[in-house]
Chains A and B, each alone.
Chain A
Amino acid sequence: MSDADPDNDRAEDLAALYRAANAADTAGPSDAARRSILAYARTVARDHATRGTVSAPGRRPTTNYPSWRMTAAASVIVAGFATLLAWHFRPPASDSSQEPLRAQPKIAPDNQTVATSPESAAGSSVSSALSEPAPSEGPSGPAPAPDAVTARSSERRFAREQAPRSARYADLEAGSVASSRQAPARAARASEAKNVAEASRASDEAALENPVTTAQLATPASPAAPPPPANIEARQPPAQGATGTAGTGVTPGSPLVIAAESGDLARVDQLLRSGIGTEQTDARGRTALLVATLRGDLPMVRRLLAAGARVDVAGADGDTPLAAARRQGPGELERLLERATQQP
């Protein structure tokens, strides 16, 4: 300390005095501070020793090793490529909504063949029911539960009650659903439509096995609808453009014709209430009205006329209900049928 104050010896005496007083001072840092410092130093020393080992030649720190970076980059590239492929090959969302549109042309020829007069069905309720969008034609929304009753399902139910032919549509639709990769919700809706058709078929019994003409479908009637009045004046007007030929849609053993031939008015009434068409014919092309006229069953004729049965539909041999009534001589039956013929 010669450069501290070399000219003043007393300055060194002050430092010596301080050191002398300091030498006897036993005070020092607390044991806690000392232990903390030494423990920390041991930790750091171990870290120093570890670093020295890791950084030895031939070893490479993990963070600097480029291998994992290559692996990570390759994984990201592969994942991105797989995502692009999946996106590219996934079925477009619009396919599901277009499938019923592709199936509809298949049904259109059936309509042409089934309907005796497509023009006459244009303004009828049947045509409107048939033109209802298919269950999957509507906008893709949340699929209702299979047993849910929606407005659309009610409309379809009404249409199928009016036109059992729509059950075939449901079958076709169900088939298209089964053969395509459509959403389960659409399959549920198709099965719902099929269930509705089956219920209608059960209520109609074997009647639904026979295709009906659009003229027959022109009479709206639902199970819940009140029965038509017995008054013959309330009969429905015949469909326009009807040919009067009952040759088409002939099915042996039509339940309505069988019931009319057996004189079972209650059965006929039950069938008419269930919405069965009045123009179904038997193997000889005879309608229920013609059969009832031939039998001279006035209450049966009155009930069929009230249900909208046409009086100008001829059988296979050209016989019509009015002609059959005239052959039986003047009477209430002839007047009833003539009056029905004059109705617009």
Chain B
Amino acid sequence: MTDGGDTDEALMLRFAGGEVEAFDALYRRHELRVWRYLQRNLGNRALADELMQDVWFAVTRAAREYRPTARFTTWLLTLAHNRLVDAWRARQPRECLSAVADGAHGLRLVEDIAADSQTEPHQRAQSQQHAAAILAAVGRLPPEQRHTFLLHAEGELTLQEIARVTNTSFETAKSRLRYARAKLRELLQEYA
């Protein structure tokens, strides 16, 4: 990913040299991706903010030791996933991520989609149903499948990268993604 011609890795190296502007660009580029990954998995915005800070603090601290041996996005989501697992183990949240679609956040998301002026009224209604359905379905996935699906859909990682981030084998990552899609289709049939 580039911003003004600089790749993520180049921005990290510049930040390691003391350029705070490089970090600002890097942060703007990946802010929502990391936060959504955390928030979709946790279902808690406050906790997502907390883990968000931990992730980016770790990024800044490790900047001098950063070596561009892999994609920056993979390394960044690895940091986020590790903190997510730690928070999951410590907190064991009982709340279902389907609250994202069921709550105010989900409703606002659906309304935003419906407000798209480019869509016709019948298309808006269909988009609202689709958006609410997909977010609710993602929230109802098992944790491992949800992690895998979000890393694929949100983080745009390959199966190889997903396996590296989740510290699993390629086959395991592939199976989880397959199960996640099957589960989503099943859930979307219910919303249809």
Q: Are B20 and A24 in contact (CB under 8 A)?
A: no
Q: Are B18 and A4 in contact (CB under 8 A)?
A: no
* Distance between B106 CB and nearest chain A CB, rounded to angstroms: 9
Task: Specify which chain B residues have a CB less than 8 angstroms from the CB of A45 in the assembled complex.
Answer: 15, 18-20, 23, 60
A21-B113, A33-B53 given as contacts; is B184 within 8 A of A14 (CB)?
Answer: yes
When the two chains form their complex, are residues A32 and B49 in contact, meaning their CB atoms are under 8 A apart? Answer: yes
A73 within 8 A of B: no
A-B contact count (CB 8 A): 125
B141 to chain A, nearest CB (A): 11
Residues of B within 8 A of A69 (CB): none
A17 and B134 within 8 A (CB): yes
Which of B1-9, B32-40, B70-78, B85-93 touches A? B32-40
Question: Which of A34-42, A101-109, A235-243, A259-267 is the interface stretch?
Answer: A34-42
When distances are taken between beta carbons in the complex, the residues of chain B under 8 Å from A19 are 153
> In the complex the two chains form, what is the Cα distance from A37 to B177 in whole Å?
32
Residues of B contacting A34 in the complex (Cβ-Cβ under 8 angstroms): 31
Decide yes or no whether B42 CB sits under 8 A from chain A: no
Cα-based distance from A20 to B19 in the complex (angstroms): 34
Across the interface, A40 reaches (CB within 8 A) one of B60, B152, B185, namely: B60
A323 to B20, CA, bound (A): 128
Q: Mark B168-191, 1 if CB is under 8 A from A, else 0.
A: 000000100110010011000000
* A29 CB, nearest partner CB in chain B, Å: 5
Contacts A14-B181, A14-B185, A34-B31; A29 near B17 (Cβ below 8 A): no
- The answer to whether A27 and B39 touch (CB under 8 A), given A1-B156, A14-B185, A36-B53, is yes
Nearest A residue to B59 by beta-carbon distance?
A41
Residues on A facing B (Cβ under 8 Å) = 1, 3-5, 8, 10-11, 14-15, 17-22, 24-30, 32-34, 36-38, 40-42, 44-46, 48-52
Q: What is the interface of chain A mostly: helix, strand, loop, or mixed?
A: helix
CB distance from B34 to the nearest CB of A (A): 9
Residue pair A3, B48 in contact (C-beta under 8 Å)? no
Docked-complex contact A26 and B31, CB < 8 angstroms: no
Cα A36 to Cα B178 with chains together (Å)? 38
B184 and A29 within 8 A (CB):
no
15 additional A-B pairs beyond A20-B130, A41-B27, A49-B18, beta carbons within 8 Å, are: A11-B177, A17-B130, A21-B109, A22-B36, A27-B39, A29-B48, A30-B49, A32-B49, A36-B53, A42-B20, A45-B20, A45-B60, A48-B63, A49-B17, A51-B64
Q: Determine if B113 and A24 form an interchain contact, defined as CB atoms under 8 angstroms apart.
A: yes
Cα distance A18–B24 in the bound complex, in angstroms: 27
**Chain B residue at smallest Cβ distance from A17:** B134
CA distance in complex: A36, B56 (Å)? 10
Let me know if B23 and A25 touch, CB within 8 A.
no
